[in-house]
Amino acid sequence: MTETLRRGRASLAFGFAVQGVAFALLVTRIPALQDQYGISDGLLPLFLAGVPVLAGAGSVAAERVVRRVRPSRVMRWSQPAALFALLGAGAGDALWQIAAALGAFGVAVGALDASMNMLGVSLQRAYGRSIMLGFHAAYSLGGIVGASLAWAGAHADLSLLASYLPVVAVLLPAVLVGSRWYVDHGPGGGDPGGKQQEPGGAPQGGAVVFRPLLPLCLVMTFAYIGDSTVSNWGAKYLQDVLGSSEQLSTVPYSVYMVMTLVGRGVGDLGVRRFGAVAVVRAGAVLGAVGFGVVAVAPGAWVGIGGFTVLGLGLCVLVPQTFAAAGRLFPGASDAAVARLNIFNYVGFLVGSPLVGVLGEAWNYRGAMAVPLVLVLVTLRYARSFAPGPDRYGDGHERARTTDVGRSGNGL
């Protein structure tokens, strides 16, 4: 039973990493996609906005599908679909082809993000201690690997198809094999909390009420507004506002991703030692400090320091928000995660244009104050991350899986 959980944890972490690779390969080659398909600057924002919109639809669909089938099955087939869509994006030459590929990628990624976090939340409950940040650390690692592969392909002047094909050829069979060990609600299909299951694997005895979920939705939105600010405006800010070279302007996102990996790699230990509320508060403060340093930086290297602090702070918010949703609705965690996941894409859609509009109308230093304030607002909702009575978490972490299949085997 313990070995089943360990295999499930390892295979899910690998799935998170593969998702990070695929997403980075897409977003870091957007200029090449624009050139290959002849997408105008006016059309490009429409194509890019379509991906998170359809991803939100995919997350909604995942919530409905998991009422009948297990989340592991949704993940098992949505991940290959995302990889095929990535390959399709690199293979065409007509606008309808890239539109279809990006549409398929968006829907698949929405279902994939929802299902993998459903599995992560249920595995964390099975373990009885914080492991959710580790899954997202694997995603960050995959993002770094994907960005490195994209850089290598661009440096070698490879076509998008030549860059994507070997990666998909390696990852596709690997994820299909790894999916054999995904674990739904603990070994043998039993819910870790002892809830009875419906035939499709969805726990009975719970329903998602939006009002108590709302604070977590806001935190998720604010976190992704901050994240999209870094990914979309970091390079431009460093070059245009802080006067860096073009080469140096690529550094902020790189150090940001490295620090998200570091922060998530040690974050679970922090949650176990200090509790989720303290970790979320610390992350929000560090995120705000990072944006503050970026906003007032006199030069490029100080700005890079701000982006470094930003990565260390923001990285804990999203994994802990998913974990908190699972604790808040232990009888309907899959539905809660799917609905919460939609606000991932809301933040992404809002963040980039918000900073751009404010930067053009006012100035980009002032625009950085907006995500700073929003991240600080997270402090107001930090208590939403506290566990309720008789739930695992702060002060209730268990060293043994006493609630998994009614077994007392230690992990």
pLDDT at 79: 97
Task: Establish whether domains 1-205 and 208-386 are of one fold.
Answer: yes
Query: Quick one: average pLDDT of 215-240?
Result: 89
Q: What is the pLDDT of residues 242-263, one digit of tens each?
A: 988 877 877 888 889 899 999 9
pLDDT surpassing 80 at residue 398: no
pLDDT surpassing 90 at residue 204: no
Confidence band (pLDDT; 50, 70, 90) for 393? very low
Collapse the DSSP code of 129 into the 3-class scheme (helix H, G, I; strand E, B; otherwise coil) and give the result: coil
Superfamily of domain 208-386: MFS general substrate transporter like domains (1.20.1250.20)
Q: What is the pLDDT of residues 144-156, one digit of tens each?
A: 999 889 888 888 8
Confidence band (pLDDT; 50, 70, 90) for 202? very low
- For the chain, how big is the Rg over CA atoms in Å? 21
Query: Quick one: average pLDDT of 309-315?
Result: 94
* CA 338/CA 325 separation, integer angstroms: 10
Of 42-46, 173-177, 289-293, 341-345, minimum mean pLDDT range:
42-46
More confident residue, 409 or 81: 81
* Arithmetic mean of pLDDT over the chain: 86
Confidence band (pLDDT; 50, 70, 90) for 89? very high
Tell me the C-alpha to C-alpha distance, in Å, between residue 138 and each of 123, 181, 368, 411: 15, 17, 28, 21
pLDDT surpassing 90 at residue 211: no
Of 172-186, 227-241, 304-318, 357-371, which one has max mean pLDDT?
Answer: 304-318
pLDDT surpassing 80 at residue 56: yes
Report the helix count and the strand count for the chain, using DSSP H and E: 15, 0
Query: Quick one: average pLDDT of 11-23?
Result: 96
* CA 6/CA 130 separation, integer angstroms: 14
Q: What is the pLDDT of residues 103-133, one digit of tens each?
A: 999 999 999 999 999 999 999 999 999 999 9
**Could you give the angle at the alpha carbon of 145 between the alpha carbons of 142 and 150, nearest 5°?**
120
> How many of the other CB atoms lie within 10 Å of CB of 238?
27
Query: How do the domains of the chain map onto residue ranges?
Result: 1-205, 208-386
More confident residue, 89 or 352: 89
pLDDT surpassing 70 at residue 191: no
Collapse the DSSP code of 410 into the 3-class scheme (helix H, G, I; strand E, B; otherwise coil) and give the result: strand
Query: Quick one: average pLDDT of 56-79?
Result: 95
Q: What is the pLDDT of residues 337-391, one digit of tens each?
A: 999 999 999 998 888 788 888 888 888 899 999 999 999 999 999 999 987 643 3
Share of the chain above pLDDT 70, in %: 89
Confidence band (pLDDT; 50, 70, 90) for 402? very low
Taking Cα atoms as reference points, which of 323, 346, 319, 330 lies closest to residue 403?
330
Q: What is the CATH topology of the domain spanning 1-205?
A: Growth Hormone; Chain: A; (1.20.1250)
The pTM of the full predicted model, rounded to 2 decimals, is 0.86
Task: Evaluate whether 317 touches 219 at the Cβ level (below 8 Å).
Answer: yes
pLDDT surpassing 60 at residue 394: no
pLDDT at 279: 95
pLDDT at 1: 53
